[in-house]
Every structure is written in structure tokens, then in C-alpha cells.
Amino acid sequence: MTLVLETVSKKAGASVHIDDISLTLARGSLNVLLGATLAGKTSLMRLMAGLDAPTSGRVLVDGTDVTGWPVQRRSVAMVYQQFINYPSLSVYENIASPLRVAGLPRAEIDSRVRDAARLLKLEPYLDRKPLNLSGGQQQRTAIARALVKRADLVLLDEPLANLDYKLREELREELPRVFAASGAIFVYATTEPSEALLLGGSTATLFQGRVTQFGPTPQVYRKPQNLVTARVFSDPPLNTLTIHKAGDSAVLSTGGRIRATEALADAPDGEYTAGFRAHHLSLDPSGTEEIAIPAVVSVVEITGSESYVHLDAGEHRFVSLMPGVRRSEPGTPVTAHLNPRHLFLFDRTGRLAAAGATQKAA
């Protein structure tokens, strides 16, 4: 099965939920929809499933226009953020329920249920009721019920958002294996860039109902085509400053003049927004070509293995991700260091104009 969205839009009065999106999803592919809350991820999934009809554009399955087809006529399964199971039924019966509705023979139902349970490591729990399961086991049951249908399209709308950290990590590690074994088209919605990177596959970044970029996940992360995509795919938020380049030097909006190297050397003279991620901004110097940014510590968040150091540099607020425990009192003067090889340069329209060596090599 190949799913194609052709210039699909969804409007409700003056509100635009989906704006002119075109995507092609291939059989057996894993596709991540990455964007903030209200970016349009769920609305796009509903159009894919046939739960809603687009205001304009077409939805094609293997070349057939299915735009007006209801969900009942499509080979689709969906798993929601809030896992839904029948509390009075065992795990086995929860998984088997769509197959019983479809009237499949008992032997085939049993075979499919046990295959799905094996894939999702639910075999020891088939006789239990959902209330006797952990949150992760309940969500795995919901996923198994979707997989057992052997639908051509499986939609997962932030399926791990309501689980605690340990359970999320456990399922994040398992899901790529499950997806690879299925052969269906998977579409997975998330607000977390780290989850998109862990899952792999391809990622579509969404902002205000539009897809800003779509491609292999590492490529979208390392080579964002525009400033919006770079911001969507950065957590902590993308650090930015303004650079005015003239000849072989450039002036920073944080103050100071630097030599135009790396990305700046490739860019024509003019004004740019420079973007760089938190782990590329260091409080420890490491080379002579680095950009030095005087700043003041605002707050430090310590996670244990890492520290997020929030910095004020004039009118700018930056975040530096440092390894280990960093203890600095608010108001402490520091110098942040940035290697130009890690810069993205975006022009006045927000499009990528040049990138440093780190991004070029990615």
C-alpha cells in the first residue's frame, strides 16, 4: 500500500487546521509527525484515516482516490494517547475483539492474537484484566489490538505521552522492532524531537498546520531547510542570534566582531539569523576559532548526567547543555563558547543560506 496526500487542506470556518500538505508514504515505512501541541498532527492523522474529509485536495491509496471513503472502508488502525481497553475483558479478548467483530474463524483469531502478543511481549499476561497491568502493558495491549487487524495503515497519536519515564523508554526501544516486523505504513505523532530521533524512519515537521520539511529523520534534524524546521526539531529550544556579515568579518547582535569563517565564509554579505543547538554552546573553551559570548547565568537545571545552563546575553536568552553537574549561582558572569562549524545561517525569509562543516558532513 502507498498512501498519497495531494495538496490536502482542512478548514473550519476561518480556522485552518491543515494547510496544503502533500506527502507520499510508502509500504512498510515508519513516518513520524513532529510538532508542538496544536501543530496539526492529529488533524492530519484523521484525514489519513478517513475520520474527517479534507476541505480540498485528495487522499490516494495505491492510486485510488479514497477521499470520500469512510474509515470503515479503509484498512486502518489507530492507537490514541489515552490507551483504551475493555476493562471486563482479558488481555487476550481485548486483542481479539476486532477479529471477532470481523467474524474470523476461531483458529485464525487465536493465531493472530498469539503472534501479536509474542511481538509485544504480552504472552505472560493474556489471562489478566487490563486493571491488573502496568501502564506500559496496557498500552502494549492497545497497540497489539491495532496490529492484530493487519491493517495497511497504523496511526499512533502520541501513544506514550501518558506513561512514566521508565515505561516510555521501554516502549520506545521496542516499537521500531515491532514496526519493522509488521510491514504496514506506520504514522507516529510526537511533540518530542528526541523520540523522533530514537524511532528513526522519516520525519515530517509540522508548524501551524503545514509540513515544513519531510525526509529521513537524521537528515531533517541535521539539515533543516528553514528556521521553522530547525526550531521544531530542537529541544531545548534552538538558540538564535543575528549576524551582520560584511567582507571577511561579521558583527554579532550579542556584541563583538568575529572573522567570517565556516558557514559565514560561504554566505554573501548581509544579515542572517544564526541558529545553534544547546549542546553546541559550551562554557568550556576548546579552540581558537570559537566565538566567545559574554553572558550571565540565569538558572541551572541539573538532571544528573547533564546540566541545562540558562544564560542571559544582553537581550538574548541562550541554553547551554553541559555534561555532568554544573553549579553556578544566578547572576554569575560566564563566557559561552560556540564553534562556527555548528552554525546554521538563515536568510531574512527564514530559508537556510549556509551551514557549518558539522551540518555539511551530516
What cell does 36 get? 508542538
CB atoms within 10 A of CB 324: 9
Q: What is the pLDDT of residue 269?
A: 95
Any residues with CB less than 8 A from the CB of 101 and at least 6 apart, and which?
Answer: none
* pLDDT, averaged across the chain: 92
CA distance 260 to 233: 26
What mean pLDDT comes out for the span 128-137?
A: 90
**Residue range 298-345, pLDDT digits in tens:** 999 998 899 999 999 999 999 999 999 998 999 999 999 999 999 999
Mean of pLDDT values over 221-234: 97
- For the chain, the domains span 3-223, 236-361
Residue with the bigger pLDDT between 176 and 313: it is: 313
CA-to-CA dists, residue 226 to 15, 161, 229, 232, 288, angstroms: 24, 28, 6, 10, 29
Q: Which of 206, 151, 167 is nearest to 16 (CA)?
A: 206
Assigned CATH class of 3-223? alpha beta
This prediction's pTM:
0.90
Instruction: Report how far apart, in Å, the C-alpha atoms of 234 and of each of 35, 230, 300, 337 are.
Output: 10, 6, 19, 19
Give the model's pLDDT for residue 256. Answer: 86
Could you give the dihedral angle defined by the CA atoms of residues 212, 216, 222 and 225, in that order, rounded to the nearest 10 degrees? -30
Instruction: Find out whether 120 and 174 touch, Cβ atoms under 8 Å.
Output: yes
pLDDT at 37 over 70: yes
Q: Provide the 3-class DSSP secondary structure of residue 355.
A: strand
236-361, what's its fold? Answer: OB fold (Dihydrolipoamide Acetyltransferase, E2P) (2.40.50)
Q: What average pLDDT does this structure show over 154-179?
A: 82
Distance CA 293, CA 242 (A): 13
- What is the rounded CA–CA span in Å between residue 253 and residue 256? 8
> Using CB atoms within 10 A of its CB, is residue 107 exposed (0-12), middle (13-18) or buried (19+)?
exposed
Question: Lowest-confidence range among 41-45, 232-236, 265-269?
Answer: 265-269
Residue 360 pLDDT greater than 60, yes or no: no
